[in-house]
Each structure stands twice: as C-alpha cells, then as structure tokens.
Homo-oligomer: A and B are copies of this chain.
Amino acid sequence: MPSNTFGQIFAVTTFGESHGPAIGCVIDGCPPGIAIAAEDFAHDLARRATGRTRHTSARHEADAVEILSGVYEGRSTGTPIALLIRNTDARSRDYAKIAGQFRPGHADYTYWQKYGIRDPRGGGRASARETTMRVAAAVIAKKWLAEKHGVAIHGCMTQIGDVTPRAIDRARLDVADIDWNVVEANPFFWPVAAQVAELEAYMDALRKSGDSVGARIEVVATGVPPGWGEPIYGKLDAELAGALMSINAVKGVEIGDGFAAVAQKGSEHRDAMTPQGFASNHAGGILGGIASGQAIRCSVAFKPTSSLRLPVAGVDVRGDAVEVVTTGRHDPCVGIRATPICEAMVALVLMDQALRHRAQCGDVGEVVPRVGSAI
C-alpha cells in the first residue's frame, strides 16, 4: 500500500503541501449511490480549521471543497471521488528564515535524511494541513456508516496539559456520560461546560508564556455491528491504533482501558456477558480484533507543539549549531483541533473494515445469539 493511501477497499489517497497550490484526495472504492454535495464537507472542516478562535493558529483557510469526479447528479457513481481545496492563506515568508534549519521536534531533519531534499514551506507535507483531507474523506464514510448501519462517531478532549474534566471519572467515561452538545459548543471539544472559562484562561496564560501543551482525545463509536474487524494483523484495534498514531503529533493510543489494564486483575477486566448484553466495557468494544457490538473506545495522546517563540538549540543544513526561534502562526495546543481528525480516522477504519467484512462474510448473515449492547 502506498504510504499516502489509507484503506484497502475504501481507499483514500491524499496529496498536497502546507504552502503548495492545493491539497486534495482521491477516494476509490466508495459504494455507489451515496448523496454527496460540496456543502457536506463544510461542517467537519470548520471544526478542524484554524483561525476560528484565538486558541488556534491564525491561518485562515476557506477550505472550499471542489468535487472533481466520481459524483453524478449528486450521487456517488462508484468511480474515484476526487476532492480539491486550494490553499489561500499560505505565507511562506514566515518560514523563509528557517529553510536552512532543522527545527527540533519537527520532521525537518528526518525528511532531509530520507529524501535528501525537502519542501520547507510551512512544514511541507509534514504539516497538519494534510489532515484536512482526512476529515473531508471521512465525511463520506461517516455518512455511509450512519445511514446504512446507524454507527455514530463522537470525540472530545479529556485532558489538556495537566487539566482533566472535573467531575468526570475517566474510568466511567462512556457514551451515556457525555453530552455531545456541550462538546460541540466550546472551542476545546471539552465535555464539561462549567470548565470552559477556566480553560480559556489557562490557554491565554500558556500563549502568553510562549509555550505549548499536549492533549488527550477520546473517541467513541457506537452502533458498530458485532463481527466487523479481522483476526491477527488486520485486527480492528490494530488498524485503529495505526490510523490514530498516523496523525501528526500523536504519541500513544489506547483501546478500552488501555494502560490501566496493566494493573487490573483478570477478574476485574474481563467483561461479563448476559443475554441482555455485556456487564461492562473494559475491552473497549473489541475482542480478538473483532467488534463485539459494544461502544468502541479509543484514547489518543497528542504531544505539545514544538514550534515556539522560546529558543531551542538546533542544527542547520550545514551541520552547524543554531538557535531556533519560531515566530510563524502556530497552535499552542495541536490537540485542540484534533477531535475531528481522530473521529475521521476512526470513521475511515470502520468504513474500510465494514466493506472488507462484507467481502469475505457477506453471506454469513446476522448470527444468533446476538447479545444486547447495554454498555
């Protein structure tokens, strides 16, 4: 699989640099007959966009999607759907002075080592601008998953720096606990409305200090039919982990209880089953790589932004020591805009696995007994 393509059946190929003329994607293998319009992409792209509040980078992109192919009279035809977004607010001068430097914590040095050449404008291909097309492609996946199977995918932030949601005990976090309207009503995708003002102040102080922090994002997918997923290397949780880790700045992924499971006893972790459904969901909705029908829970760690106006020791392209200071437009916490990106990757994995499941097991039908999915 080429490195810029995601998925085997519902295969999304993305392209474009931060400060190039455009970014875009090609979605191959899309089921035919799905209603698709350019306006469909606006909502999730706006959730991901910079420049909407003072807490994200000041770059303003219209993110206007042009559908170049694969849609006829408002419906997908089954042929490749190409989406194009022109970059309109690229300011390459911001980066000119660091073209000759390797910024610590960035991919500058590693791209240089791999390719012997790099596009330094705004981080080039390694910029988070690339995630725009993940979100765009996932709009179609989310739509199909919801309409055909009733799958809903929601994400929120559950930690920023050392701040965690008050009155939310993470061990109990599940779809029933969170009011997604609250999450969508604040710029942090934070699940506790009463805490938002405090977060605003926290971020203002951070921005003033010139520093940045990391974040934890939680994504929950409900309605996933039992049976989706695959054994061994194509496990549903393995693909979720790979997909989420492929997002810029991600350093860790958990499914279900994640690292907390290390200290648990087996008698506590294993989720008892009854004819009415599972009694708990430590597993996070996946057993043996295959969905159990419970809510699928993923938790993702984002590192703090490395681009700071605080100086750091670096190296230039001649190998000499330099002091690196970044003055361009940057997010003080990349995790703030990460929620729709994480949702997107979960949607892309589920969409592809759904189609692959249908390929191999499309004639298995609904298997009984199917227990309830109480939790």
Q: Are A237 and B245 in contact (CB under 8 A)?
A: yes
Q: Known interface pairs A15-B82, A104-B271, A301-B262. Does A110 touch B28 (Cβ–Cβ under 8 Å)?
A: no
* Contact between chains at B361 and A359 (CB < 8 Å): no
Instruction: Give per-residue flags for A286-321: 1 if the beta carbon is below 8 A from chain B beta carbons, else 0.
Output: 111111110000000111111110101111011111
Expressed in whole angstroms, the Cα–Cα distance for A105 and B292 within the complex equals 10
Indicate if A75 sits at the interface (CB-CB under 8 A): yes
Contact B77 A117 (CB under 8 A): yes
Q: Which of A215, A259, A262, A302 has most chain B Cβ within 10 Å?
A: A262
Distance of A302 from chain B, by nearest CB (Å): 7
- The yes or no answer to A187 lying at the interface (CB within 8 A) is no
Stretch from A55-63, A176-184, A188-196, A248-256 that touches the partner: A248-256
A358 surroundings in chain B (CB, below 8 A): 358-359, 362
A148 on the B face (CB < 8 A): yes
Can you name 19 A-B residue pairings with CB atoms under 8 Å?
A1-B233, A15-B79, A22-B69, A24-B82, A26-B26, A29-B360, A33-B117, A72-B118, A72-B124, A78-B361, A125-B232, A215-B262, A264-B304, A266-B304, A269-B304, A269-B306, A272-B314, A273-B314, A359-B359
Q: Which of B114, B261, B292 contacts A301 (CB 8 A)?
A: B261
A363 interfacial contact with B, CB 8 Å: yes
A53 at the binding interface (Cβ < 8 Å): no
A9–B356 CB distance below 8 A = yes
Instruction: Determine whether A88 belongs to the interface, using a CB cutoff of 8 Å to chain B.
Output: no
> Please, how many angstroms separate the alpha-carbon atoms of A212 and B130 in the complex?
44
| Known contacts A313-B274, A364-B33: A106-B288 contact under CB 8 Å | yes
**Pair A288/B107 contact, Cβ less than 8 Å:** yes
A119 CB–B CB distance under 8 Å: yes
Nearest chain B CB to A268 CB, angstrom units: 8
Beta-carbon contact of A258 and B301 below 8 Å: yes
* Interface check A155, CB cutoff 8 A: no
Task: Kindly list chain B residues whose C-beta atoms are within 8 Å of the C-beta of A340.
Answer: none
Q: Does A231 sit at the interface, judged by CB under 8 A?
A: yes
What 11 new A-B contacts, CB under 8 Å, besides A112-B367, A245-B253, A358-B359? Answer: A2-B11, A3-B231, A4-B79, A4-B234, A5-B28, A14-B80, A17-B72, A77-B118, A106-B287, A262-B302, A266-B308
Selected contact of A16 from candidates B68, B112, B290, B371, CB within 8 Å: B68
Asked if B245 and A368 make an inter-chain contact with CB atoms under 8 angstroms apart, the answer reads no
Closest residue of B by beta carbon distance from A370: B113
In the complex, which of the residues B104, B257, B284 contacts A272, with contact meaning CB atoms closer than 8 Å?
B104
B68 touches A130 (CB 8 A): no
* B231 touching A265, Cβ below 8 Å: no
Given contacts A242-B241, A245-B253, A266-B211, A22 and B232 within 8 Å (CB-CB): no
Bound-complex Cα distance A282 to B214 (A): 13
CB neighbours of A293 from chain B (8 A): 113
Do A252 and B263 touch across chains, with their CB atoms under 8 A apart?
no
Q: Is the CB of B124 within 8 A of A79?
A: yes
A24 to B16 Cα, complex, angstroms? 14
What's the nearest-Cβ distance from chain B to residue A156, in Å? 14
Point out the residues of chain B lying under 8 angstroms from A81, CB to CB.
Answer: 15
CB of A366, distance to nearest CB on chain B (Å): 9
**A263–B162 CB distance below 8 A:** yes
- What's the minimum C-beta distance from A134 to chain B, rounded to whole angstroms? 9
CB nearest neighbor in B for A126: B288
A20 on the B face (CB < 8 A): yes
Decide if B77 touches A125 in the complex (CB within 8 Å).
yes
